[in-house]
Structure 1
Amino acid sequence: MRDLDRWVSWRDIQAQPRIWRDWAGSFVADEVRDWIASLDASETWFCGAGSSAHIGRTVVSGLEGRVRQLRSVPTTDIVARPHAYLEGRSPLVVNLGRSGGSPETLGTLDALDVLAPTAPRLNLTCNPDGALAKRKATGPCGVVVLPDETQAECLAMISGFTTMLLTALALFDPILPEAPFLRLADALERLLPRFADLAEHTEPPDRIVFLGTGPLEAAAREAALKVLELTAGQVSAFSETPLGFRHGPKSIVDSRTKLVLFTSGDGLAANYEADLLDELSDQFPDAGLTTVGPGAEHDPGLDLPDVWLAPVAVALAQVLAVTWSEKLGLNVDDPFSDTGRLTRVVQGVTLYPVRPR
């Protein structure tokens, strides 16, 4: 096996079960839930960029039909068109960000100050010194700072993604008010060595496709992003739904394509996924096919809604991405260190002032 422990990114992956256990013992979700319930907000928006946007998409898709008036609104959309989103509205804006100071985060806070100053905010961040933790607001503002370890000094958002996703679910899922952090930590601890063995015995493919239904499709977006980032684009990564895959995207598959399905525990979704697996196995017998989730090759063994299993599914992509990055001879913690084309906190964005109309 490779000596991956020298990379911060790898250690961050391996630390996730412990981080979740420690967080379960220190995070008092009930107090924040009570504060959320006290707010007079007609909608709740989950706002972030990149991996943080994928957290919002995963939460909103996973709680659809169980919590009313949830929206995923990436900060990249708000900053580009603030008036279209914010004028005349006062949603609870859940800001998500590892650094808490990306340009789009700052631009969203600026837009809120001008166009919706009394809108309540709940800021989830890994950085106690960033704008999401420190910046004052006119209206109600709650802050949750994740464990310091989730700030890991590497390009990719790893434990910050999974821990922030679990934290958001603990705050907004009405069905599971007692977050199953400990059970998820045990499941991931069991699966990580198997993920590592798979990655070690799989060469970096030309491309990889992650498939998932509902919240697992949102998780598949994050999975694809991890591989794309950490291999510096040398492995092209895509995501799609199992049903949507036949509508054109399947044309990408050949013998040098790796396929990963995040399986659903929902009976109807699982039927469609099983049909696609049979089809892919028949049409592309040489393509690598891996499944993770209920009833899958890598089964967490937990009876939980799909959205709660998303962090475990994404961890497979994290392991593949780091292992392949190392195999490609890249600086795993900063694959763009020689060019600076991609940085841990996005740079090069000019923020333009927002004014009321």
Structure 2
Amino acid sequence: MSELLTYNEEFLKSQNGYWTAKEICQQPRIWREAAANVDSKRSELDAWLTPILAQANLRIILTGAGTSAYVGEAIAPHLSQQSGRLFEAVSTTDIVSNAPQYLLKTIPTLLISYGRSGNSPESVAAVKLAEQVVDNCYHLVITCNPEGDLATNAEQQDNAFSLLMPEGTLDQSFAMTSSFTSMLVSTVAIFAPQTEQLEIAAQWAENFLDKNVDALKEQAKQPTQRLVFLGAGNLQGIAREAALKVLELTAGQVLSYFESPLGFRHGPKSLMDASTEVVFFSSSDSYTKLYDQDLLAELHRDDQALAITTLTKASFNHAEDIADVWAGLPYILYCQILAFFKSMQANITPDNPCPTGEVNRVVQGVTLYPLEMH
């Protein structure tokens, strides 16, 4: 009988954890498929994007809600650096509640919208608000659901392009895993492709799944009450997503926090105690690494944490460095697995950690109000 994350599939199904485990483990394959999918659509994408990107004062906003918002946070610094254009991550939840503060009427804007289902109320509303507020607006929709509102609406607009993620990324589980990383890979593949780096990232993840899952399962048995994720630059977006995965999959039983290594000293470090576990995302950038090492040394000197784990290439049994935007893929896989084990050990059902419905797979209960422009 086949296993996923050390558990046999029948047991996982009985514990309502099968889909979460399956969708975590399939990611290295999904990453390759997502990049290949972009390559297959390259001529269509280029034909649509080229005249838009030719506008000198074009603004590019990466947007989504929750995990979908963190896609943008995890790649915006890298895309800006690689392309020489400014990519901004602004959540749909911010746009919907404060559209005139985030959208500028006279500046041409490419809104890149992420959505697993494409049906979140804020996702659809943000597109409509951008149309209302911005004189010259374009929409690149990156979604896992061909039948979602984001995708179907985009197909009816001349100023929109819908890119669907590979089959299997419309997660059946509550928590976004494959959907998050596939949308991340696809966007980087569009604007700053690095096929060799992506392949190494997939190999890091496969190595971990083959050799390190048992050890992480043991580590997850620690009596952690707080989990802190630290990462700089692009890795801060990954840290934010990691913190959300722990919070979601443990139904809030393990409190989580994220910050940059430098930012952690400015107050948040107060939360450190003997029940706090730290996961530190090491940067491959030689300059950034200087600040990483300073804080790590400080945390070890303080000797307050229950445990400190530093993720590096060695954690994934690999000798080659990759840029942080790509290292973020195996890093988040590690954190998804950690959150999954914490969930199983707390007898929470990972596929539906909140069965009473206070939190839903697709957000509910949002009232949308018309925006009156003055």
TM-score of the pair, normalised by structure 1: 0.92
What do residues 306-334 of structure 1 show as CA deviations (whole Å, max 9, x unaligned)?
11211111111100111110100011101
Matches within 5 A, 1:1-357: 3=7, 5=9, 6=12, 7-28=18-39, 30-31=42-43, 32-39=45-52, 40-41=54-55, 42-66=58-82, 67-86=84-103, 87-116=105-134, 118-136=136-154, 138-173=157-192, 176=193, 178=195, 180-202=197-219, 203=221, 205-284=224-303, 287-294=306-313, 296-298=314-316, 300-337=318-355, 339-357=356-374
Tell me the CA shift for residue 58 of structure 1.
1.2
Match of 2:137, SS state, is coil
Q: In the alignment, is the contact (CA less than 8 A) between 1:207 and 1:237 conserved in 2?
A: yes
Report what 2:15 is aligned to: none
Deviation string 1:22-56 (CA, Å, 9 cap, x unpaired) is: 33444325322453222154111101111111111
Which residue identity lines up with residue 242 of structure 1 in the other structure?
P
Distance in structure 1 (CA, Å) of the matches to 2:277 and 2:46: 41
- Deviation of 1:214 (Å): 0.4
Offset at residue 297 of structure 1 (A): 3.7
Change (3 A) 1:200 1:20: same
SS in 2 for 1:201: helix
Give the match's secondary structure for 1:134: helix
Kept in 2, the 8 Å contact 1:47–1:75? The answer is yes
Give me the identity figure in percent: 36
Query: Is residue 61–residue 215 contact of structure 1 (8 Å, CA) maintained in 2?
Result: yes
- Closer/same/farther in 2, CA of residues 22 and 70 from structure 1, 3 Å limit: closer
Question: How far apart in 1 are the matches of 2:312 and 2:50?
Answer: 32
Q: For residues 191-234 of structure 1, what are the alpha-carbon distances to aligned partners after superposition, in whole Å with 9 as ceiling and x for unaligned?
A: 12455223311225100100001000111000101001100010
> 1:60–1:253: structure 2 CA closer, same or farther, 3 Å change rule?
same
The one-character-per-residue Cα deviations of 1:90-121 (angstroms, maximum 9, x if unpaired) are: 30000011111101111112212322364111
Cα distance, 1:2 vs. partner? 5.1
Gaps of 5+ in 1: none
**Conserved? CA contact 1:261–1:290, under 8 Å:** yes
> 1:75 and 1:285 mapped to 2: Cα distance?
38
Instruction: Give the partner amino acid of 2:266.
Output: H
CA distance in 1, matches of 2:180, 2:92: 16
Q: CA deviation at 1:286?
A: 5.4
Q: CA–CA distance in 1 between the matches of 2:134 and 2:196?
A: 32
Query: Deviations along 1:235-282, whole A, 9 cap, x unmatched?
Result: 000011111111111111112111111100111111111122122112
Distance in 1 of aligned mates of 2:212 and 2:332: 11
Separation of aligned partners in 2, 1:284 and 1:34:
56
User: What's the CA shift for 1:342?
Assistant: 0.7
- Note the C-alpha offset of 1:163: 1.1
Q: Would you say how many aligned residue pairs link Structure 1 and Structure 2?
A: 353
Instruction: Return the letter of the residue paired with 2:23.
Output: D
Shift of 1:179: 6.5
Question: How far apart are the structure 2 equivalents of 1:159 and 1:194?
Answer: 21
Counterpart Cα distance in 1 of 2:330 and 2:248: 19
After TM superposition, give the deviation of residue 181 of structure 1 in Å. Answer: 3.4
Q: Which amino acid aligns with 1:271?
A: L
Residue 150 of structure 1 aligns to a residue whose secondary structure is coil
Q: Give deviations 1:106-150, integer Å, cap 9, x for gaps.
A: 111221232236411100000000112110465521111001201
Root mean square deviation of aligned Cα = 2.0
1:59–1:307 CA contact under 8 A, matched in 2: yes
Q: Is the 8 A contact 2:272 2:305 kept in 1?
A: no
Contact 2:278 2:305 in 1 (8 A): no
